[in-house]
A and B are shown apart, each in its own frame.
Chain A
Amino acid sequence: MSETEKEIEPAGENDRIWDRIGHRLSQWKKTLLEKSRPHKTLHYWVKKTFEELLTIRVIRFIVGLVAFLVLFYAGIVYVLGYDPLMGTIFSGVAWLIPIFGYIPMPFEMPQGIAQGTSIGFFDIIQFLGQQGIFPYIAIGVLLIVPILVGRSFCGWICPFGFVQDLFALTPIRKRLPSKQWDTRLKSIKFVILFVILFLVAWLGIWTFLGIDEGFRGAVTLPFATAFWATINPASTFFVILPYLYLRGIVSPILTEWNPPFIAWGWPMYLRLGFLVVVLLLALFVTRPFCRWFCPTGAMMGLVSQFSFLTVSRSATDCLGPTCDSPRCKSACPVGIDVMAKPFGPIHDIECILCLDCVAKCGHDSVKVEYG
């Protein structure tokens, strides 16, 4: 045997040994994988469906759509001219209409909604406040709902939020303003809120003292009963546009019952213009109305800072600045930088609990907490 062959022989033996070890390891790995792989039971498929198809965003969209349809059920009946659910098991949805009527809704539900099903608490505050009546029920709703579930109604149920989400589905690249401008614009809703509350309180006191006639005459009745509704784009979208459509085309009843706030003139152009601006913005910025203009959301946000229901950033799981895929930073539709928040529950006025940050986090470190 040559010297070269002597050197090769032990190496060949080693290779065989390593091959055997490698084969054993691959067998072991295969067995482990087979053991760890779930059987394709019903549970497996349900779990897979929820994980892959029913993402939080899809579920939120479905919930928003159902809420939208239920809230405007009467309107749908009106527009169609018949009740599509009549005679079916779902005809009971009609029960909800009188129930909704007694409870001020914890989101932007404009005064004078054409379908007449319900009304938002902020409109009730204005409506009763300007008459000199303290709106106990509306204040109760304002305090109870955000404490129990934060602003989740804004994120999941609000019909105007749903409309903005629909506009955000367009394949147009979203362009956010700079952080500084975003912060400045976010203060607009608080300015709107405090101006309206001031006017309501002022007129309420004057009404209480019996010296309100001059003011009401000066500003006209619709403005005096609902300051915000005269400009509110949600009101324009859900109240004014249906009225304009119905009055003009199909409704003899509305030509007799002529709401005074529907009259062409600069206020109408102003409100239509504001709606167009908001909807155009919704193509480029997610939830622009909720972000910058909604006084109902601002009011709820002030209370929701103390909410039991929060999104929380985990101190043990979150990688912070070293995260390889910080998708939570750009996930938030109202522009909250989750990564910049301290660990623990995030108590932010703007948070609408849409849970997009929870869904986007690849490390499962943004969680929902209650308590």
Chain B
Amino acid sequence: MNRRVIAIAILCVGLAALAFGISLGQHELVRSWVQVFSDAYAPFFPQPIPP
């Protein structure tokens, strides 16, 4: 099969997986895992500048 056709097929599957994952809210799971560690450093994170 043509390499380009395979590439486009893989790209479509990837985009579908990404969209489905976001619709399931998996980005929040990713964030929660990162958050476990960033919470430990929260006091040291830069605070936003007031407008």
- Distance in angstroms between the alpha carbons of A98 and B45 in the assembled complex: 12
CB neighbours of A137 from chain B (8 A): 17-18, 21-22, 26-27, 30
A352 at the interface (CB under 8 A from B): no
CB neighbours of B22 from chain A (8 A): 137
CB neighbours of A1 from chain B (8 A): none
Within 8 A of B (CB), among A131-157: 133, 135-144, 147-148
- Distance in angstroms between the alpha carbons of A137 and B13 in the assembled complex: 11
A101 at the interface (CB under 8 A from B): yes
- Distance in angstroms between the alpha carbons of A35 and B28 in the assembled complex: 63
B43 at the interface (CB under 8 A from A): yes
Q: Is the CB of B41 within 8 A of A116?
A: yes
- Closest chain-A Cβ to B38's Cβ sits at a distance in Å of 3
CB neighbours of A139 from chain B (8 A): 14, 17, 21
CB neighbours of A116 from chain B (8 A): 34-41
- Distance in angstroms between the alpha carbons of A98 and B38 in the assembled complex: 10
Q: Is the CB of B27 within 8 A of A103?
A: yes
Q: Is the CB of B10 within 8 A of A143?
A: yes
CB neighbours of A100 from chain B (8 A): 34
Q: Is the CB of A141 within 8 A of B34?
A: no
Question: How would residues 57 to 75 of chain A score, 1 for a CB under 8 Å from any chain B CB and 0 otherwise?
Answer: 0000000000000000010
Q: How many residues does chain B have at the interface if contact means C-beta atoms less than 8 Å apart?
A: 38
How many contacting A-B pairs (Cβ < 8 A)?
124
Q: Is the CB of B41 within 8 A of A140?
A: no
CB neighbours of A257 from chain B (8 A): 40
Contact A86/B18 with A101-B34, A128-B26 known, Cβ cut-off 8 Å: no
Q: Is the CB of A144 within 8 A of B49?
A: no
Within 8 A of A (CB), among B1-45: 3-4, 6-7, 10-11, 13-22, 24, 26-31, 33-41, 43-45
- Closest chain-A Cβ to B26's Cβ sits at a distance in Å of 5
Q: Is the CB of B27 within 8 A of A77?
A: no
Q: Is the CB of A140 within 8 A of B15?
A: yes
- Closest chain-A Cβ to B21's Cβ sits at a distance in Å of 3
Closest to A95 in B: B48
- Residue in contact with A347 in the complex, picked from B3, B20, B48, CB distance below 8 Å: B3
Within 8 A of B (CB), among A172-212: none
CB neighbours of A236 from chain B (8 A): none
Q: Which 5 A-B pairs have the closest CB atoms?
A: A143-B14, A116-B38, A140-B18, A136-B21, A137-B21
6 contacts between A and B (CB under 8 A): A97-B38, A114-B41, A128-B26, A136-B26, A147-B11, A306-B3
> Could you list 10 further interchain pairs (A-B, Cβ under 8 angstroms) beyond the known A74-B38, A100-B34, A139-B21?
A86-B46, A116-B38, A117-B38, A118-B34, A124-B33, A136-B26, A138-B21, A140-B21, A253-B43, A257-B40
